[in-house]
Chain A
Amino acid sequence: MSTTYTIPVGPVHVGLKEPITAWLELEGERIVNARVRPGAIHRGIEFMARERNPIQVIYLSERICGICSFSHVICFIRAVEDLAQMNVPVRGQYIRSLVLELERVHSHLLWSGVACYTIGFDSAFHLGMQMRERVMDVLELLSGNRVNYGVATFGGVRWDVTPELEKALRGMVRYYRQEFTPFREIVMEDPVAQARMRNVGVLTRDEAVRYSAVGPTARASGLRIDLRKSSPYEAYADFDVEPVVPQDYFGEAHGDVLDRFAVRVLEVYQSLDIIEKILDGLPEGPFVEEANLNKVMASLKKADGTGWGIIEAPRGDDTHIVSLKGGVDNVLWWKVRAPTYANAVSWPIMFRGNELADAPLIINSIDPCISCMERMLVTDEREYRSEVVTRSELVKRSRQKTFELGSLKSKYVPGGGAEQ
């Protein structure tokens, strides 16, 4: 008879940057089952939107999530533009794509840094964070803000690409081409990091389909899906965006944490290419259809119906559906389906059979954005345990494992896992 223990993780936990609760059932060190309880930071954003007009909601939708803020804004704006039949000038579309790609770069850099931190690879974390500052500088130059840019508006964007910004962008692309490769090599070719990430948190291709994983999580399982290719929006139809899948890089897709790492890292290169193409092909002309917000508001007040927008956010497909009623200022209703919502379903599958020390890494591996996910209160009838405690124990364990592997380095066979 084996005994299982249940270990609560979270809601506040060092390995997690955002609150979420998980109960891991353990048999020794192995996780046999896992349950996840979201809902800790539900703020009721969709409810708040019902008391605001669409222009106010732009700035609210930005604050669904501070990391993919621009994706949510664009998605919301596209939904409203869809229902109100608004036009966006081509230059506006290009600038939107540009900022979306910049956001992807900073989000993926942040993620790869945090993943390194989780496995105790602090120097790589600092390297990643240092590189990330460069794209933050560019975003600040564009919008004056580092996190919530406030760049988009109905019918275009609010800020133009100036020659100064273009110079900074080209400098940034050059910088990353030079500096990013060493970072990639340091992490992905390090035997210890490989041992920590290879065959950990596996999600097979079939499982990814069955549990509807999206974005880099699905691509890491070998699925060739990317909305920028299959349903191009904004300026993406002008570029050829090929989905990044690990089989092109490693020969086969394992669907493990290393694959997810590789997909995100390679997507940074892809984004750099796209940024360059955008700069080369940036058309002349206006960047916003109607700059006077009062006029926009008047036309939105007449709009009636339901519209939707769907884009490829850094974490996967983001969908917004908005309904407006003619003659009413405020948004009638609004539904957001953030990518983490789809990806979190596969957590329990990824956990199974892994060690406890890998839990924070697995949770982080889908790049969860809990604040994106939790606008809706998930009705969860599972037991509520008030003695859930926050411990640093798990991250300590996770880091300890890396150090132990480090000392076993000589015995390590690449691709196989450490021999004990």
Chain B
Amino acid sequence: MKSFDMDILRILPRSLWVTTCNSGSCNGCDIEVVATLGPRYDIERFGMKLVGTPRHADVLIVTGPVTHFMHEKLKRIYHQMPDPKVVVVVGNCGCSGDVFYKSYNLDGPVDNIIPVDVYVHGCAPRPEAVIEGVTKAVLKLEGLGKKPDKKEEAQEAEAMKEAEAAGGVAL
């Protein structure tokens, strides 16, 4: 399993496929993510591309403070993504709850639910910030290639097993 991961990372041509999940955001961050696709910010010049399904993606962009309903969905999307993967949270409300504190229906912030690698702050962050966040994800993936973090991997495998036992993963 480990050597298999290593191979993927060596092959990974630094072209990331990104998928997004709106877990209850106000839309503000989502339109900024859409703006990064537009001609002015043009995320494709970094070889990044927005794909429609988590199964093809390397990077998951999560926006929003995670409502109770989206809790399970977000977990499932995370587990559907192939390893190695990076999670980028875009927006204050996903990072910390921000303006949506004290609600009865929020399970967030996102790092309560899935492991997060990069936080992009701002409400809403500028498209440049979103791009910076995703490029940090590239660095993280490359770093993974150099020395895989055994501890984290073990944790992840365990979390995976737990989720499977709870019937939460649909692979």
Chain A residues in contact with chain B, CB under 8 A?
Answer: 11-12, 14, 17-19, 39-45, 47-48, 51, 59-60, 63-67, 69, 110, 114, 126, 129-130, 132-133, 136, 146-148, 369, 371, 377, 387, 389-392, 395-396
Contact = CB atoms under 8 A, between A and B. Distances in A.
A391 B99 CA distance: 32
B26 A66 contact: yes
A59 B126 CA distance: 18
A378 B67 CA distance: 14
Interface of B: 21-32, 34-35, 37-40, 51-54, 64-65, 67, 69-70, 73, 77, 93, 99-106, 123-124, 126, 170
Most chain A CB within a 10 A radius of its CB, from B30, B69, B73: B69
Contacts of B64: 41
A105 to B, nearest CB: 14
Contacts of A132: 35, 38
A17 B70 contact: no
A67 B35 CA distance: 13
Contacts of B32: 146-147
A15 to B, nearest CB: 8
A369 B27 contact: yes
B102 A65 contact: no
Given A12-B73, A63-B26, A44 B105 contact: yes
A47 B67 CA distance: 14
Given A43-B106, A48-B103, A129-B37, A392 B52 contact: yes
Nearest to A72: B26
Contacts of A392: 51-53
B99 A17 contact: no
A43 B105 contact: yes
A17 B29 contact: no
Most chain A CB within a 10 A radius of its CB, from B27, B37, B101: B27
A39 B32 CA distance: 23
Contacts of B100: 43, 45, 48, 63
A17 B22 contact: yes
A46 B131 CA distance: 33
Contact of B26 (A11, A65, A114, A377): A65
Nearest to A59: B99
A146 B127 CA distance: 10
B40 to A, nearest CB: 5
Contact of B24 (A41, A69, A146): A41
Given A12-B21, A63-B26, A391 B105 contact: no
A11 B73 contact: yes
B170 A387 contact: yes
Nearest to B53: A392
Contacts of A12: 21-22, 73, 77
Contact of B34 (A11, A42, A114, A377): A114
A110 B31 CA distance: 8
A331 B98 CA distance: 19
Nearest to B50: A14
Given A12-B22, A51-B102, A148-B124, A42 B37 contact: no
B23 to A, nearest CB: 7
A147 B77 contact: no
B22 A18 contact: yes
A39 B124 contact: no
Nearest to A130: B39
8 contacts: A11-B70, A40-B24, A42-B24, A60-B99, A66-B29, A129-B38, A371-B24, A390-B53
B27 A65 contact: yes
A126 B44 CA distance: 12
Contact of A63 (B21, B67, B99): B99
